[in-house]
Amino acid sequence: MSHLVEDKPLIVDGMGRRFRNLRLSLTAACNYACTYCVPDGKRLQAAAFELEASEMVKAVKLLVSVAGIDKVRITGGEPLLSPKFEEILHGIMDLGLEDVSLTTNGQLLPRHADAIIRSGIRRVNVSLDTLNRDRFRGIARSGDLNTVLHGIELMQAGGVAVKINMVPMQGVNDDQIIPLLEYSLARDIELRFIELMNMGHLQASPEYRQEFFSMANILELIAGAYAYTRTDAPFDSTAVRYEIPGQGVFGIIANESEPFCRNCTRLRLSSNGALYGCLSSARSRDIRALLHMPKEEAEAELVQVLRGALADKQSENFQGEVTVMKFIGG
């Protein structure tokens, strides 16, 4: 259910879109340096002046009140690196939102498993691009595959639903599509394939076209092993979903092959208080000062900020940006 106060008008653009889903980046730091995210194996570091836990929770409360946000995805960077993770998680869970989830690379899941399970969070999305140990290190440039797989087991054992996000890349890990699908189907996990995104260091690089593996490529490969049919997805979902009868469901986030911007309801808040209305725009709006204003003044100011952020959204197609998605919250 929406927590929008009834006497406050919805902030809606000319296409009828409003913000419902918040991506909240706890930190820009990451313990991986994935090839599609950062160049030259350089890990992302924490941003200067990252918000305190209390400020983050207050920001979410404001966005719930003013924009009617009812779904929050906790992201990064790698959110489990943040020393404020558990405090922020519990603060958000106390808001009684419709859906709270977490996106992580899974490397630190075993360390935080008890806290995550106790919090009552509904779902964890794990980024996993291969089941091959050597390939795993080649793509992530860090980490241990077995630790991630153990973390997934702990989540499921604790009653937390798991989704897996995979970025298939031509000549890099496209041969892992079927193994990861089989792994996921066997464990009642929904696997999401994400087309390589034309942003960050890839935007001006020949690697993007060399490694891009399209929705059509993915479906053709899967069709050689499984029969599937297209199935329903939420109206504002970025994924196209398919059912393999009697076995499970998989999805494809086809940012280039099947644009999803027309129904996008996502808003992103970076770890240092910058609000982004669209992945295709590097334009941001600093809301840190709002967090220290009286409530009514902060809400009035935030309305104007949100109108501007909503205007940044693309009408149809994802255009790409030089901004690194991990920095603003994937």
Residue 66 pLDDT greater than 90, yes or no = yes
In one letter, which amino acid is 58? K
User: What is residue 326's predicted lDDT score, i.e. its pLDDT?
Assistant: 46
Residue 171 zone, left/alpha/beta (φ > 0; ψ -120 to 50; rest):
left
- DSSP bridge partners of 72: 22, 100
**Domain membership flag for residue 1:** no
Q: Rounded distance, CA 30 to CA 142, Å? A: 10
**Domain membership flag for residue 40:** yes
CB 21 within 8 A of CB 269: no
In one letter, which amino acid is 256? E
Residue 133, judged by CB atoms within 10 A of its CB (0-12, 13-18, 19+), counts as exposed
Using 50, 70 and 90 to split pLDDT, how confident is the model at 292? very high
pLDDT tens-digit map of 138-196: 999 999 999 999 999 999 999 999 999 999 999 999 999 999 999 999 999 999 999 99
Residue 41 pLDDT greater than 90, yes or no = no
- The DSSP code sequence of 190-249 is EEEEEPPPS-GGGTT-THHHHHB--HHHHHHHHHTT---EEE---TT-S-EEEEETTTEE
Both tokens assigned to 158: 């604790």
224 phi, psi to nearest 5 deg: -75, -15
**Domain membership flag for residue 172:** yes
- The DSSP code sequence of 21-59 is EEEEES-S--S---TTTSSTTPPP-PPTTPPPHHHHHHH
Both tokens assigned to 32: 């991986």
User: What is residue 26's predicted lDDT score, i.e. its pLDDT?
Assistant: 96
**Domain membership flag for residue 44:** yes
**Domain membership flag for residue 9:** no
Using 50, 70 and 90 to split pLDDT, how confident is the model at 129? very high
**Residue 95: domain span:** 21-328
Return the closest-CA partner of residue 324 out of 80, 106, 77, 48.
77
**Domain membership flag for residue 10:** no
Kindly state the helix (H) or strand (E) to which residue 284 belongs, with its residue range. none
Using 50, 70 and 90 to split pLDDT, how confident is the model at 102? very high
**Domain membership flag for residue 320:** yes
Domain count along the chain: 1
User: What is residue 4's predicted lDDT score, i.e. its pLDDT?
Assistant: 44
Residue 119 pLDDT greater than 90, yes or no = yes
**Domain membership flag for residue 160:** yes
Both tokens assigned to 313: 């959204």
Summary mean pLDDT of the chain: 89
Residue 219 pLDDT greater than 80, yes or no = yes
CATH value at residue 265: 3.20.20.70
Q: Rounded distance, CA 121 to CA 1, Å? A: 16
